[in-house]
Amino acid sequence: MGEKHAKLVTRFACPTCRGIGVQGAQRCRTCGGRGTIGRQGDLMLYWGRPIDYRHLAQRHVIAIAQYTVVTILLGFAALGVGGLLWQLILLDQYGVPLWRFWEQQNIWMLTFWWSLVVDSYLVYHFSQEYAKIQHIPRRARRGVTGAAAPPTSWETALQVRRGQTVNLSDLYTAEAIAAVEKSWEFAASSRHHAVAPLHLLVALLQFPAMTEMFVRLGAPFTRLNRLVTGALPRYAVPTGNALTFDAEYFEALFSAYEEAWSRQQKKVDLSELLVACVTTSEVVRDVLYDVKIDTDAIHNVAAWFRVRREQRARYHHLRSRTSYRPRRTTMDRAMTAVATPALDSFSQDLTQLARAGYLEPCLGRDHEVTEIFRIFSAGGRQNIVLVGNPGIGKRTIVNGVAQLMVAEDVPKFMQDKRLVSLSVARLISGVTASVAEERLLHCLNEAARSRNIILFINDVSKMVGISPGGSASLDLAGALAQALTQTGLRAITTALPTDYSRYVENHLLGQVLEKMNIEEPEGNDAIQILEAKVGAIEANYHVYFTYEAIAQAVKLSGRYLHDRFLPEKAIEVLDESAVRTLNEKGRDSSVTGQDVALTVSEKTGIPLTEVTQQESAKLLNLEQEIHQRMVDQEEAVKLVSAAIRRARAELRDVRRPIVNLLFLGPTGVGKTELAKIVASVYFGRASELIRLDMSEYQEKSSVNRLLGAPAGFEGHGEGGYLTEAVRHHPFALLLLDEIEKAHPDILNLFLQVMDDGRLTDAVGRTVDFTNVILIATSNACTPTIQRLTAAGVSVAEVKAKLLSGELQQHFRPEFLNRFDSVVVFKPLGMPEVQKIARLMLQEVGKRLLEKGVSLQPTDAAIDELATAGYDPEFGARPLRRVIQERVDDAIATKILGGELERRDTIILDVGGRVTIKKPARRA
């Protein structure tokens, strides 16, 4: 709905003035200053309100004169009524019958009789003014029909029958007219040569309603004013040139009409003019783009304000329309309906609630509502089941139908009827199966006899196989299906997709109900649905939402919260954000997009707020921070760091994991250690590492351990280890250790993960992997890597040889192609092992600092440990065992022997000698 709609009005520019419509004394004689005319079916549309200093002054004087005259006449009329009341008081005091007031002859009665003449004139005046009011044709008419062929030129466009010419200005509200006139005045006072949509934008910003709209958009007004001021000089020319209307200006006037017509508005208002400015003028779009406002945002906020305006008007509209309906809600106008006391006991009248204004508005579901009317009108199954996931708005669609029924904006067969919601829970509550069946049949019989009822049953699957009261099983759905078939009752029901497939589809009820799938709203539709619902949240918490907050709620909840559905999950995010804003900022504060991002970030553990200066420094220096705990392997560290920066800057493909990497190399060179360091440094804690030892998944049946047991097997419904781990920790590092040992079917499973970023478990839940860093390690081709690197071959050449040859013996090409990069870890030499030994001893020192003791190893001791812990085949893996045996064990003996005290320093020397250095005594 945010995109620009197709043109409904065909424009024709005057061939003489080329559509600019010069006003005043120099106006074009061919078009009479109209400039551009439009044709919509048989209607000819034009702008017929002259705008120049003379006409503006003339209208101003006439308006003041009319206001003055009407005010004086109203005052005189009120004086006449007051004179009559005073005369009646005097008659009452003197005991004269009040009906003899007409016999009195004095100044008060003379004033009263003359006021009757004034009253008659005022009634005539206001009736004439009311008759002048014109409204935009209703869109329900599907456009104006009857034209033989659309006009193709200015001359043919002028050929219309009498009564089919419409002045666009008559279809504008008073505020919209004022905005148009202010735009001309601004251009004239600025000595510009043409009035353009940019001038109209300047005029619109002077109205409080538009100011509020831009506040909701989060526009920085100082910067916006500076940008508008900078764009205006293009229209400046030397004094003396005639002021004309730019062709884009007329385009904006017609576009505003189209916008109002397509949205079924009665008049063109300020919001439609704003949308028209944006859609017709590239200059306006560029100005707003620089303050981060795009066309979709303007459309959606305009729809937001339109909804608020309609919500205020709907209450009055429904009240006026319901005056034509029978006062007793169970009776139709023909007085043929019968009372339904039993049905009333177990149901709720939705049309009654709609009439009182208690039902929430239904937006973005026009297609679904139209489809309901179509199914009811068709000759086949005339009962409907709305099938959709929880929280997507099935009940709201039904509420929308109820509201249209109250306004009688429905097909004829649905007019003058009630939409009644039958409660299954109340039917079966605390009774036996036979009593529940009796209640249901009684309700259905009353509804059928009444002939003015359409039933609504929420979650109809609950009626299948009901066994209330501990008695034998009773299928209430069978009784409902039989009643719908035999009595001609119409019903709207709902069901969840799984319940429909399991209980309803193959049941007799499934043969009676026409299935209608309800999809989750997305994009602008979801945004506009939320705009209609945030009013209640704002009133509850005394805060207000910016447009960015609503757009972010839809975007972030849709991307990161996969257990629930739009719009419900976005509403929950907005509610939590409102609570946070109230607690942190106080009443009357604005909920921004950053507040919403922080809420979703806390719910998911994914950093979503704007990058702070501190985090920016951390990201830019990520390699250095990793190298504080990781020795060498420059390529691997660089690739991982770059992928994390792309993800945080939102420059990656959000449909795939953050990065897919394959680490190749001998054991003990740091493949697994690098994954642990990344999880600890970037994710904040090492617990955000999901590690799978793929040697445990060598059997085909191991798939069940990852995804969960299928239906019919023990453990079904509990979920799998992999899917549950990622579902609860969506922002994590997934480590697939020794992946070459996994069964081929397991590798096929990860093809989907790396390509689509999602996986479906055995229960049917879709698990999101798009915020996962996926790292697979493998010891495949280790002899080749060791041989080539020993021969002095570079790491890049080694990788190229492996990818084109030996590595394909272990993995299929399509599996290797899913990785963003294959990283070869070169074998470690003695210098690298010495650095690793120093890092490991630093870890030991950190643990000792918690006890108040420091560790100082000598360089000779580090070299000795590195030599003892180095193995050309196993890399640095034996080093940790050596440090445990020679360092940890010796220090543990000292601690248990009571030899160590706080502030002591342990000196580690060759041969595993441990010397304790006592601190210097204080004076």
3-class DSSP string for 123-172: HHHHHHHHHHCCCCCCHHHCCCCCCCCCCCCHHHHCCCCCCCEEEHHHHE
With CA atoms as reference, report the closest residue to 688 among 725, 642, 739.
725
Structure confidence at residue 334 (pLDDT): 44
Structure confidence at residue 6 (pLDDT): 42
Structure confidence at residue 95 (pLDDT): 82
Q: In this model, does residue 21 exceed pLDDT 60?
A: no
- Express each pLDDT in 49-63 by its tens digit: 888 888 888 888 998
Structure confidence at residue 34 (pLDDT): 61
CA distance 858 to 867: 14
629 token code pair: 């705990």
Amino acid at 174: A
Give the residue-averaged pLDDT of 76-83.
90
- Express each pLDDT in 621-640 by its tens digit: 888 887 777 777 777 788 77
Are 577 and 597 in contact by the 8 Å Cβ rule? The answer is no
- Express each pLDDT in 789-813 by its tens digit: 878 888 788 888 888 888 888 888 8
CA distance 737 to 673: 11
For the full predicted model, state whether its pTM sits above 0.85.
no
- Express each pLDDT in 700-739 by its tens digit: 888 888 888 776 566 555 678 888 888 888 888 899 999 9
High-pLDDT (> 90) share of the chain, %: 13
pLDDT band at 162 (very low <50, low <70, confident <90, very high): low
Q: What is the DSSP letter of 695?
A: G
Are 652 and 772 in contact by the 8 Å Cβ rule? The answer is no
pLDDT band at 24 (very low <50, low <70, confident <90, very high): very low
- Express each pLDDT in 439-449 by its tens digit: 888 888 888 88
CA distance 285 to 295: 7
- Express each pLDDT in 172-184 by its tens digit: 999 999 999 999 9
Are 841 and 855 in contact by the 8 Å Cβ rule? The answer is yes
More confidently predicted of 445 and 380: 445
**576 backbone φψ class: left, alpha, beta (φ>0; ψ -120 to 50):** alpha
- Give the three-class secondary structure for 61: helix
Q: In this model, does residue 825 exceed pLDDT 50?
A: yes
pLDDT band at 569 (very low <50, low <70, confident <90, very high): very high
pLDDT band at 761 (very low <50, low <70, confident <90, very high): confident
- Express each pLDDT in 839-858 by its tens digit: 888 888 888 888 888 888 88
CA distance 553 to 526: 10
Q: Say how many C-beta atoms besides its own lie within 10 A of residue 860's C-beta.
A: 12
High-pLDDT (> 70) share of the chain, %: 85
Q: In this model, does residue 152 exceed pLDDT 70?
A: no
- Express each pLDDT in 258-288 by its tens digit: 888 888 788 899 999 999 999 999 999 999 9
With CA atoms as reference, report the closest residue to 591 among 540, 547, 560.
547
Q: Which H/E stretch holds residue 513?
A: strand 513-517
pLDDT band at 466 (very low <50, low <70, confident <90, very high): low
Structure confidence at residue 139 (pLDDT): 53
- Express each pLDDT in 810-820 by its tens digit: 888 888 888 88
- Express each pLDDT in 381-418 by its tens digit: 788 999 999 988 899 999 989 988 887 778 888 888 89
CA distance 710 to 161: 72
Q: In this model, does residue 861 exceed pLDDT 90?
A: no
Q: Say how many C-beta atoms besides its own lie within 10 A of residue 262's C-beta.
A: 15
- Alpha-helical (H) ranges within 561-708 are 568-585, 593-604, 613-620, 622-627, 634-648, 671-681, 703-707
Mean pLDDT (the chain) is 81
**Omega within 30 of 0 (cis) for the link into 567:** yes
- Express each pLDDT in 469-501 by its tens digit: 444 445 688 888 888 888 888 899 999 988 888
